Amino acid sequence: MITVDIEEERKEIIRRYRRLLRRAKPFLKDNDAKLIKKAFNTSLEAHKEMRRKSGEPYIYHPLAVAQICVDEIGLGTTSIVAALLHDVVEDTEIELEEIEADFGPKVAKIIDGLTKISGVFDHGSSQQAENFRKMLLTLSEDVRVILVKLADRLHNMRTLGSMPRHKQLKIISETIYLYAPLAHRLGLYAIKSELEDLWLKYTETEVYNEIASKIAESKSSRSRFIRSFLLPIQDEMNKSGLKYEVKGRPKSIHSIWNKMKKQNIPFEEVYDLFAIRITLDTDYDNEKAACWHVYSIVTDFYKPNPDRLRDWISTPKGNGYESLHTTVMSKTGKWVEVQIRTKRMDEIAEKGYAAHWKYKDGMGSSHESGLEQWIGHVREMLQQNDTSAIEFVDDFRANLFHDEVFVFTPKGDLKILPFGATALDFAFDIHTEVGAKCLGAKVNNKLVPINYELKNGDQVEILTSIKQKPNEDWLHFAVTSKAKSKIKDTLKEAKKIAAIDGKEIVKRKLKQMKIPFDGDIANQLRALFDEKTVTDFYYKVGKGLIDPAEIRRYKELKTVKTPEKTKRTERSYTDDIKKVSPSHDILLIGEDMDRVDYKLAKCCNPIPGDDVFGFVTVNEGIKVHRTTCPNAPELLSNHGNRIVKSKWMSQQQTAFLASLRIIGTDRVGLIRDVTDIISRELKVNMRSITIDTETGIFDGTIVLYINSTKHLDQLIKKLEKVNGVMKVTRFDETSEND
């Protein structure tokens, strides 16, 4: 039993509160300090009996969230008050009306946006998605809701170590699926990077620790390298009388891991492990010239890579990010990324959306147009709020693009669209009517189809026809959520009309057969024709895809089972698990760690020893996925109620398929040596082996049956010692083929 020193805790709470006030002091006005004190006391009293999983007083959490709002996002009094009170309505007896009476409508609105929806949801819906939707809907009224939520999520991720594993999986998946892209889109790069790093820490712990230790090991040599690299540049900048600050920092662990994975290379081969940032102190009117001046100084001493110049000063990113990036070759043969920006640009890069308002009065509106345009698109999307919550969240997430393409209208106006956007996206960006009647486009005076993928610098003119109408294929051509939602709206309207026609045809047919029409009969017909919904059945009849004469089959069947009603509570998912008869004893599933039937997901091919979770599917029972499965973030984010704990038993020796990729230098007898280790030494059965050789390099894949991750690791280590083998990695066969 841990003894708690109440007096020491009380002193620590006061210390943390005073630190918050000190940091907020520079921008406090009039009665702001009193309002913050009132919010602190309200929160302290409301949470006085509560403790976090770590055992700490609960008040530490709202204080930490408020501190992040001030220090890392740069928010003001309203957000501090909301951060201090963000959990009181959800977790305590205090009602939202009391908050509004004491702290005003703005604070109440933010807290309402952060308060989860309670209640029971239908089978097939998702409480998580409903909560996301509720929070995101407030974006159209007050962006601070999202910013406070990001601060809340960042602190939860920082203190995730005390949570049970299944809770960790849910939180990290939501983070990588929605919150990290959202932080990126709002320009909060530091928060986005930390969220991604923490996701990796809890998903691929060994990989994270290995990269972190390698970065730490190279710190002193990196510092020496940066000093010698900067010496001539700083001398020249000093002569020019420039005021500046220089920082050298390693890339985030997540971005290094991403490069290692995408390029299939080890840590040592990632060439731009760190970036050097030069931050200039200059007035707004002189910013562009000063940045290019520094660029010319850097490239006087080091040769730039022409393909790696990124000018986000002339054309800022859609989230307002401004900076000049170049990658240059150092004297020691290393590529170095140099970022050049001003103090204003740096603050916007670190604090994103919140920092824009600080500088709004001093600069033209064009600098905010990209971010404002995106907020405008989101507001439009939010108004079209007639989709399911899961579809809504997926559409919203699709709009949180990372890369952008810059294109022009025939008059020369700049449009910023997501990377991969098509002529059809451009048409809907101009106007909904233009999009709906889009026939094709002229790009740089050449005719192109509506699915033409836009490239930087394209000048686009949309061609329309009054006879043109959106069809299902258009959803495959569109990338932006605006285009997709408008196409869906049009298709839904057309489907509704066809379904009404279909219903009338069904009624007439049943009347001819002297069968009374009602909801049960319609549902039985839906089951007979294997359609998901009655509306789908009516639609297919209306469109002629189901011949009305076929409805006679209904009369021929003496009994048609009425399908089981799909309306169930969330709890029934776990009830389903209990009903499954145990036939395997390899995996333990559910809260009670029972032995139940399951299938292994083909998307990630889990094997014994992998960190896994169970997912209750609608038709195929429980499917087991690896926690690192490409589909894991979406499943865990949108369907947390259908996730069940799963854990491998170690004693079972059953063979599972695993795929290995081997790369190396070709030589006589290499394949024999590899197969000897697999078959004779480790007695592993192979299903297939394919090896391609070209100009002395071989690249092979081996699919084999192994017992566990430990067994597989042992095999990989042995194979790596074979003369000529450079690299052996596990991959998911299905994902390679997709």
Q: Among the listed ranges 276-280, 294-298, 487-491, which one has the minimum average pLDDT value?
A: 487-491
> Angle of helix 389-398 relative to helix 369-383, nearest 10 degrees?
160
165 and 50 in a single domain? The answer is yes
pLDDT for the residue 355: 64
Residue 391 has pLDDT above 80, yes or no: no
Strand-strand pairing, 438-443 and 697-706: unpaired
For residue 43, give every residue at least 6 positions away whose Cβ sits within 8 Å of its Cβ, in sequence order, or none: 59, 62, 84, 85, 88
Taking only the tens place, the pLDDT of each residue in 203-213 is 989 899 999 99
- The segment with the largest mean pLDDT, out of 86-90, 123-127, 562-566, is 86-90
Between residues 279 and 664, the one the model is more confident about: 279
Q: Is 115 left (phi over 0), alpha (psi -120 to 50) or beta?
A: beta
Residues 580 and 606 in one domain: yes
Per-residue pLDDT band for 378 (boundaries 50, 70, 90) equals low
Report the alpha-carbon distance of residue 286 to residue 693 in Å, rounded: 57
Of these ranges, 29-43, 351-365, 574-588, 654-668, the one predicted with the greatest mean pLDDT is: 29-43
Spell out the SS3 assignment of 36-58: HHHHHHHHHHHCCCCECCCCCEC
Of the given ranges (117-121, 182-186, 352-356), which has the lowest mean pLDDT? Answer: 117-121
For residue 464, the domain's CATH number is 3.10.20.30
**Which contiguous run of DSSP H or E holds residue 710?**
helix 709-720
Residue 198, domain member (yes or no): yes
Q: Are 610 and 601 contacting, i.e. CB atoms less than 8 angstroms apart?
A: no
Determine contact, residues 696/687, Cβ cutoff 8 Å: no
pLDDT by residue (tens digit) across 322-358? Answer: 899 999 998 888 888 999 999 988 888 887 766 655 6
Give pLDDT tens digits for 69-87.
Answer: 998 888 889 999 999 999 9
Residue entry with tokens 């940091």: 23
Q: Examine the domain organization and report whether 636 and 526 are in the same domain.
A: no
Is the distance from CB of 261 to CB of 287 less than 8 angstroms?
A: no
How many Å apart are CA 355 and CA 654, to the nearest integer? 57
The DSSP letter of residue 608 is T
Average pLDDT over residues 608-632: 83
Annotate 215-237 with DSSP letters as a single string: HHHTHHHHHHHHHHHHHHHHHHH
What is the chain's mean pLDDT, rounded?
Answer: 81
Dihedral pair phi/psi, residue 691, rounded to 5°:
-135, 125
Say yes or no to pLDDT of 644 above 50. yes
Lowest mean pLDDT among 106-110, 310-314, 602-606: 602-606
Query: Domain for residue 483, yes or no?
Result: no
457 backbone φψ class: left, alpha, beta (φ>0; ψ -120 to 50): left
CA distances (Å), origin 217, targets 212, 213, 222, 376: 9, 6, 9, 46
Read off the tokens for 561: 């089972």
Q: How far is CA 523 from CA 176, 371, 476, 682, in A?
A: 40, 48, 31, 57
Residue 507: which domain range?
A: 489-556
H or E stretch covering 78: helix 77-85
- Indicate if 308 and 436 belong to the same structural domain: no
> What is the token pair recorded at 724?
């000529």
CA distance 139 to 143: 5
> pLDDT band for position 199 (50/70/90)?
very high
Q: Are residues 132 and 268 in the same domain?
A: no
CATH assignment of the domain containing 199: 1.10.3210.10
Is residue 83 located within the same domain as residue 195? yes
Q: Is the pLDDT of residue 5 over 60?
A: yes
Gyration radius (Cα) of the chain, Å: 30
Q: Per residue in 570-606, is it b (16+ CB within 10 Å) or e — as a string?
A: beebeeebeebeeeeebbbbbeeeebbebebbebbbb
Domain assignment present for 477:
no
Is residue 484 in a domain? no
Task: Say what angle helices 127-137 and 369-383 make with each other, to 10 degrees.
Answer: 130
Domain end position, chosen among 468, 499, 520: 468
The two structure tokens encoding residue 24: 């907020």
Quick one: 631 and 660 in the same domain?
Answer: no
Cβ atoms of 588 and 594 closer than 8 Å: yes
Mean pLDDT of 130-143: 71
49-53, 111-115, 210-214, 593-597: the lowest-pLDDT one: 593-597
User: How many CA atoms lie within 13 Å of 271's alpha carbon, on the beta-carbon side?
Assistant: 13
Instruction: State the catalytic residues.
Output: 90-91
301: CATH:
3.30.460.10
Determine the average pLDDT of the residues in 48-63: 88
Do residues 70 and 24 lie in contact, with contact meaning Cβ atoms separated by under 8 Å?
Answer: yes
Same domain for 578 and 703: no
Q: pLDDT, tens digit, for every residue of 405-463?
A: 888 898 888 888 888 899 999 999 899 899 999 999 999 989 999 999 999 889 999 99
Whole-number percent of the chain with pLDDT over 90:
24
Q: Are the C-beta atoms of residues 85 and 133 closer than 8 Å to each other?
A: no
CATH at 694: 3.30.70.260
* pLDDT for res 8: 87
Considering the domain architecture, whether residues 238 and 353 belong to the same structural domain is answered as yes
* Residue 200: predicted pLDDT: 94
Q: Are residues 22 and 167 in the same domain?
A: yes
Q: Which of the four pLDDT bands, split at 50, 70 and 90, describes residue 239?
A: very high
* 476 within some domain: no
- Residue 170, CB-side half-sphere exposure with 13 Å CA sphere: 18
- As a residue count, the chain comes to 738
Domain contains 286 = yes
Is a pLDDT exceeding 50 seen at residue 647?
Answer: yes
Q: Span 32-38, mean pLDDT? A: 92
Q: Among 161, 183, 203, where does a domain finish?
A: 203
| Mean pLDDT calculated for residue range 717-729 | 85
**Residue 563 pLDDT > 70:** no
Q: Is residue 449 part of a domain?
A: yes
What is the mean pLDDT of the segment spanning 224-235? Answer: 92
pLDDT at 736 over 70: no
Helix/strand/coil percent split, the chain, to 5: 55, 15, 30
- 556, 582, 613 — which closes off a domain? 556
- Close Cβ partners of 13 (under 8 Å, ≥ 6 residues apart): 44, 57, 59, 60, 63
Q: Which of 580, 610, 578 is nearest to 597 (CA)?
A: 580
Asked if 110 and 31 sit in the same domain, the reply is yes
Q: Of all residues in the chain, what percent carry a pLDDT higher than 70?
A: 82
Phi, psi for 503 (deg, rounded to 5): -60, -40
Note whether residue 1 is domain-resident: no
Q: Are residues 70 and 191 in the same domain?
A: yes
Domain count, the chain: 6
Residue 548 has what DSSP assignment? Answer: G
Is the distance from CB of 655 to CB of 707 less than 8 angstroms? yes
Mean predicted confidence (pLDDT) in 703-721: 81
Average pLDDT, stretch 651-667? 74
Report the alpha-carbon angle 165-166-170, nearest 5: 115
Q: What pLDDT was estimated at residue 735?
A: 45
